Amino acid sequence: MQSILRISDAAAIALHTADYLAGEKKPLSSAMEIAKALDVSYNHLSKVLQTLTRAGLVLPSRGPKGGFALSPAGRKASVRAFISAVDGPPAMKACLLSHKVCKHRDCMFGNFLAETNKRFEAVLNGKISEFSKRK
């Protein structure tokens, strides 16, 4: 059986990185600082940061005092934008199986899945900057 939500580790790192950068007081954070703060692999984080940079959600700065910051677009971006940059557009699942076996009857998980999808859609449409204000 498949999970309801399909978010890769890379997308989860992207979301946590965005949240971390949105909440930072200093203008730049190094990849090493972010990796330590999130307790993730530096190499994996570096690849995610490259992807987010290509998507225009993160701005890199080179040099000894370099690092990363959310771009203006990244600050305004939705959770969906960060997931999409890494995993492609998230898809909602109406059924836990890859094929319908209910034969048009009401699914025993129907209401649960519909409510879960609705709540997840609200999170996807939320802005990263809104979530970082919860601290």
pLDDT tens for each residue of 51-110: 999 999 999 998 888 899 999 999 999 999 999 999 998 877 766 666 666 665 667 776
Neighbours of 59 (CB within 10 A): 17
Strands (E), 1-115: 58-61, 67-70
Going from the N-terminus, what domains does the chain have, and what CATH number goes with each? 9-132 (1.10.10.10)
Instruction: Please indicate, yes or no, whether the overall pTM of this predicted structure exceeds 0.75.
Output: yes
113/12 Cα distance (integer angstroms)? 21
Residue found by looking up tokens 């370099």 in the block: 66
- Calculated CA dihedral for residues 72, 75, 81, 82, nearest 10 degrees: 110
